[in-house]
Structure 1
Amino acid sequence: MSEEELWNLTLPEFNALVERKREQDERADLRAGIVAAVIANVFRAKGTKAYEPYDFMPTLRRHETKRQTWQQQLAVAMVITEMAKIKAQKEGGK
């Protein structure tokens, strides 16, 4: 995607792009977690609990949802506002 195409995305299109990237990253992390769990389980002591892929994925835990604080939400809104200002300046300069 070119820079111009990126700047011409609507907010829903941009959000969909970000979500797709997040899902791709999660799948890649899961694959790495599977490999790590298999290796760890081969060498674990008898009678100990088996490792799961999520044990090796500290940023992605099952059944955990981490809500954003209002400060984090404000920071995201400020970034979006700055992006809109930059886009407006670029369009004004054409």
Structure 2
Amino acid sequence: MNKAEMIDKIAADHEVSKVKAKEIVEQVFGFVGADLKKEGRFAFPGLGTFTVAQRAARSGRNPATGETIKIKASKNVRFKAAPALKDLVAKVKIK
């Protein structure tokens, strides 16, 4: 499901306009981003926990030239699934 499909589903299920559904979706993800920025962590029971992690500087290779390059330290988001989500995914049949 992508963002547009999520908005359509929320609008249909809750009888609100697509504009209102889009505002809701964007606000929810805005809360996640704001909490990650402020606290470094966002937990949603039944779904999982998002945390900010630090990646150390390292060297890598340019795949086109083979030249060694320096990659700067950076931050990224990690996700750990809640047990309820893990159980749900375990029941999914892969095509």
TM superposition score normalised by structure 1 = 0.31
Greater share of residues in strand: 2
TM superposition score normalised by structure 2 = 0.31
Greater share of residues in helix: 1
State the structure with more CA Rg: 1
